[in-house]
Amino acid sequence: MPHPPSSPGAFVALPHPPRPTVEALRAHVRAGARNSPGIYRMYGPAGEVLYVGKSVRVRTRLLSYFRADRGEKAAEIVGHAHRIDWEHLPSEFAALLREMELIKRWRPPFNVQHKADAAYCFIKLTREAAPRLLVVEQASADRARYYGPFTGRARLRDALRQLGDLLQLRDCGAALPMRFGDQGELFGVDRAPLCYRGELKTCLAPCSGLCTQGEYAERALLARRFLEGDAERPLAILRQRMDAASGRLQFEYAAELRDRAERLLAVQEELVALRGTIETLSFAYHVPGHCGDDRLYLVRRGSIRAELPYPTTRTEREFAAARVRDIYGAPEPRLSSVRPHEIAQILLVAQWFRRNPTELERTHPPEAFAGVERSA
């Protein structure tokens, strides 16, 4: 029985093209891929990216997928692939950067690394009338301040709870309205009942008018300064309480306070060390490339600001000098929190030099390419 014709404008689902055989995919790789650095992509039936990988020898790496045993991840990926393509790049470093960029863009289902950075977490100081300290999985472009990355979410959450209690910062939900003490004329005398932290004096209770907006802002600034290594007040409060507990012969409580202080100090020192590491990752990085395609990466504070062909001609040297002056010539604000869009790249660059310490021999002061004074 014939099907009725489709109505005008009706959507007709077209079948996916037939899946190429594994032999056809292997022949495609053999015919086109080279044994040089690069990245490769596996696509599903609708053109969706299933997997992105990298290798210093793309052809060999791709052909290894077809030799994988049943049950291995490589065999599973090939078993779902309808198309394979690749990009040849000048070096392993270039391939690493490109792989990260594509995984962040497409979130392929078979990729784990770079996809969610689930092993890391961050401290978030929210941008609200009464800011809060939170532990979050990822940094977002929401104008809040982010500190990290850290490992050990439970440890970090415990330390932030101590910091919040010491500075009396709220931890209630974002939807709860704030009624500061200096806004009584706006809200009248109807205040929210105190929560248990308000009753215990571990929260300034901005929802109940027990502090002004300025008083709360001072405490939030103290939290920010502590996380940036510039404030000792939370630790000083703990030490005073520890001394008082010892004076009352409450040695177990004093030991607990000491442990709290050590956890807070560890978080602060971790952040200071991270900033120090980021500050050292500022240089011009010469990366030899496949078939002589050398590149110059201009890195500042762990973030790659420019990628150029390694300058060999006068024109190229003049262009490189201008880019160096643009990138390194102007001072940058003092580093406090990490910019969300730079986090993944900073982590990758730091990891690259940690795993390949001899590559630091290829780094140079930026002024070597520009002849200008370098700003802090």
Over residues 139-148, the pLDDT tens digits come to 887 889 988 8
Residue 118 has pLDDT above 70, yes or no: no
Which pLDDT band holds residue 2 (cuts at 50, 70, 90)? Answer: very low
Domain 22-106 has CATH 3.20.20.70: no
Residue 262 has pLDDT above 50, yes or no: yes
The predicted pLDDT at position 375 comes to: 43
Tens-digit pLDDT profile for residues 307-339:
999 999 999 999 999 999 999 988 876 555 666
The predicted pLDDT at position 334 comes to: 57
Distance CA 280, CA 52 (A): 31
Residue 373 has pLDDT above 50, yes or no: no
Cα torsion through 54, 55, 57, 60, rounded to 10: -80
Distance CA 167, CA 164 (A): 5
Record the pTM.
0.72
Closest C-alpha to 347, from 113, 94, 39: 113
Q: Which residue has the tokens 């002061």?
A: 365
The predicted pLDDT at position 5 comes to: 44
Q: Which residue has the tokens 């001609």?
A: 313
Residue 368 has pLDDT above 80, yes or no: yes
Contacts by residues 120-123 (CB-CB < 8 Å, ≥ 24 positions apart): 120/148, 120/149, 120/150, 120/151, 120/347, 121/148, 121/149, 121/150, 121/151, 121/153, 121/156, 122/146, 122/147, 122/148, 122/149, 122/150, 123/147, 123/148, 123/150, 123/156, 123/160, 123/227, 123/267
3-class DSSP assignment, residue 81: coil
Distance CA 100, CA 218 (A): 40
Distance CA 356, CA 91 (A): 14
The 10 Å Cβ neighbour count of residue 18 is 8
Domain ranges in the chain are 22-106, 154-277, 281-369
Name which residue leads in pLDDT, 341 or 57.
57
Q: Which range among 173-187, 249-263, 276-290, 317-331 shows the weakest confidence by mean pLDDT?
A: 173-187
Residue 62 has pLDDT above 50, yes or no: yes
3-class DSSP assignment, residue 145: strand
The predicted pLDDT at position 192 comes to: 65
Name which residue leads in pLDDT, 239 or 17.
239
Residue 120 has pLDDT above 60, yes or no: yes
The percent of residues in the chain predicted with pLDDT above 90, rounded, is 52
**Per-chain mean pLDDT for the chain:** 86
What average pLDDT does this structure show over 124-130? 94
Q: Which range among 64-78, 211-225, 250-264, 350-364 shows the weakest confidence by mean pLDDT?
A: 250-264
Distance CA 281, CA 106 (A): 28
Distance CA 215, CA 204 (A): 9
